[in-house]
Amino acid sequence: MKEELLKIKDEAKALIEKAEDLKSLEDLRVKFLGKKGDLTAILKMMGSLSAEERPVMGQLANEVREDIEALLKNKFDDLNALEREKRLDEETLDISIDKDLVSLGHEHPLIKVKEKLEDLFMRMGFKVIEGPEIETVENNFDLLNAPQDHPSRDMSDTFYIDKENLLRTQTSPVQIRAMKKYGAPLKMVSCGRTFRFDDVDNTHSPMFYQMEGLVVGENISLANLKFTIDQFVRELLGEKIQTRYRPHHFPFTEPSMEVDVTCHKCAGEGCEFCGGTGWSMELLGCGMVHPNVLRNCGIDPKKYSGFAFGFGVDRITMVSYGINDIRLLYENDQRFLDEF
Ligand code: DAH
């Protein structure tokens, strides 16, 4: 039996060394170590040995098995490395072939600005909320305290879907949805598309982006409004920018204001761009939330007050990137978009 074991070992060694690929190596593993393999066949005969011989042969058989396993493992590693190398050689890419480059897309400039603004407000503790583009007349006008004869309700200004539904003319209805859903206290912004029956020229488009902000809480005052908006404007346009608050009217705020910022070209000195005034056109509208609006959303105006603001994101995008025609933002001309 000893001779047979040693013979198996020698035979295995010779055959494994000659194996040319992983498949024939696996066949050899089965031939020598498999359930019906040569070594197993010999082990089955152990029963016929004497009690003294059995442990000696047992040990030898184990050594032979370990030797064969080690031989198989070494050969496997060698063949594996060889096959991998061969495969890599065969798969080589010909990088000299001249192919058209596939251009990867990127975010639209408006979306870049939208995300920058949302990020800025999130860092100031605001919740970012989305609202639908198809709104109810109730949310878009009624609950925002717009009088029945307000000119913006007019058919010639608003895209009505039916008597009760329209394409939202502003992002302000998202305030209403947020107050009805979350109550007070609340700090939210919302940015999205709005629609108005506007003539198309280089600063007007029937679809444009707005951002809306709202803060409601106990003892919220005009000082909080001014601090927050000044902070936002400086973060957006730079430390040196100054603001100016002018009285205005919005149905949903009282008092209401428009905010101007110093001209981004001359920083307030006066230049041809700002007509020598040192101020840019209004940047945003804002005010203290009208008590009727709070009441309409189930918030007690005796306990809570708030401020709101809204502005056009297109304008900010145009100023940020030096774009002089709003239509470029919506035409999706690849040559224009590729510049960003
Ligand atoms: N919704 C206004 C508009 O479309 C913008 C606005 C002004 C929003 C004042 C506000 C605000 O929340 O307080 O012109």
Residue 249 CA, ligand 1 centroid: distance in Å: 10
Q: Whose CA is nearest to atom 2 of ligand 1?
A: 310
Q: Residue 48 above 90 pLDDT?
A: no
Distances (CA, A) of 147 to 142, 154, 174, 256, 291: 7, 12, 19, 16, 15
Mean pLDDT of the chain: 91
Q: What is the pLDDT of residues 236-265, one digit of tens each?
A: 888 888 999 999 999 999 999 999 999 877
Q: What pLDDT does 166 receive?
A: 97
Residue 40 pLDDT level (bands cut at 50, 70, 90): confident
List of residues 6+ apart from 187 with CB closer than 8 A: 124, 125, 126, 127, 214, 215, 216, 217
Phi, psi of 259 (to 5 degrees): -115, 125
Instruction: Answer yes or no: are the C-beta atoms of 129 and 277 closer than 8 Å.
Output: no
CA of 164 to the centre of ligand 1 (A): 21
β-partners of residue 279 are: 262
Q: Cα–Cα distance between 255 and 132 in angstroms, integer?
A: 28
Contact indicator for 209, 191 with CB cutoff of 8 Å: yes
Of the chain, the percentage scoring pLDDT greater than 70 comes to: 100
Q: Which of 150, 212, 220, 248 to mutate to test the pocket of ligand 1 (most atoms within 8 A of CB)?
A: 212
Residue 309 Cβ contacting ligand 1 at under 6 Å: yes
Asked whether 287 lines ligand 1 (CB < 6 A), one says: yes
pTM over 0.75: no
Tens of pLDDT, residues 84-113: 888 888 887 777 777 777 777 889 999 999
Q: How far is the CA of 308 from the centre of ligand 1 (A)?
A: 8
Q: What per-residue confidence (pLDDT) applies to 294?
A: 98
254 is in an annotated binding site: yes
What pLDDT, on the 0 to 100 scale, is given for residue 268? 86
Q: Does ligand 1 lie within 6 Å of residue 37's CB atom? A: no
The atom number, within ligand 1, closest to the CA of 252 reads: 13
Q: What is the per-residue pLDDT across 178-221, written as a single tens digit (0 to 9) for each?
A: 999 999 999 999 999 999 998 788 888 999 999 999 999 999 99
Separation between Cα atoms, residue 280 and residue 31, nearest integer Å: 88
Four-point Cα dihedral 55, 61, 63, 69, nearest 10? -150
Ligand 1 atom nearest 172 alpha carbon: 1
**pLDDT interval class at 322 (50, 70, 90):** confident
| pLDDT given at position 189 | 98
